[in-house]
Amino acid sequence: MRILITAGPTREYIDDVRFLSNASSGQMGYALTSAAMRHGHEVVLVTGPVDIPPPAGCELHRVETTDDLRQECQKLFPQCDGVIATAAVCDYRPEKRITGKITKTGHPVTLSLVETSDVLAELGAEKGSRWVVGFALESQDPRKNAMRKLRMKNCDLIVLNDTSAISSTHNSVEVLSPQAEVIASFSGPKTEIADQLLTFIQTQVAT
């Protein structure tokens, strides 16, 4: 199979030097990329800015903003069999990017934010015969919110984890089906979880 994997954070610039982002390390997406290649698959990795080297042998596409991610995924997804979306996409961006650098004035600054594009929902709407596996990072009412995302984004499966996964080498995840059932759970190093998830995805949706 040819699998599209998204990983890492996106950045949304306030001015030319400051941006909104998150602490995603990209480890889960990179581990899944390595696992997929070990299983004999071809991987197209679309990654935001991270501090770890990409797995050797994947087709690499680097992005920065959510719109960058959206454009790359829309271009690449039609040539793939499915997508595993681990990227921690910024939900909001500044309404207007300031040219240059904002200087201190001694007064408060109000930042107006607007929602970014929902990249995974767009892929889910266009998937056709392809499969879509999403990730949900939740801290409140996690299963309910994960299921809302699964349905809104037209995912075949969604992988639920919590905020303790951010920048950690370990994780604990549940895999939820469209019927709101927990059909698998894995805990341990992200490298091990990646292998278990990849095997599970192959048996459930990538057949």
- Please report the pLDDT score of residue 95 as a whole number: 96
Q: For residue 171, indicate whether it is catalytic.
A: no
For 109-143, what is each residue's pLDDT tens digit?
899 999 999 999 999 999 999 999 999 988 889 99
pLDDT, position 130: 96
- Phi then psi dihedrals of residue 190, to 5 deg: -60, -30
Longest Cα separation, the chain: 60
Work out the angle at residue 200's Cα, subtended by the Cα atoms of residues 22 and 8, and round it to the nearest 5 degrees. 15
Split at pLDDT 50, 70, 90, the class of 168 is confident
Q: Which domains does the chain have, with CATH numbers?
A: 2-94+111-204 (3.40.50.10300)
Q: Residues 85-97: pLDDT tens digits?
A: 999 999 999 999 9
Choice among 22, 145, 154, 161 that is catalytic? 22
- Torsion sign, CA atoms 162, 163, 169, 170: negative
How high is the pLDDT of residue 166? 83
pLDDT digits (tens, 9 = 90+) for 42-73: 999 999 999 999 999 999 999 999 999 999 99
The mean pLDDT value of the chain amounts to 95
What burial class does residue 105 get, using C-beta atoms within 10 Å of its C-beta: 0-12 exposed, 13-18 middle, 19+ buried? exposed
- What's residue 120's pLDDT? 97
Residue type, 170: H
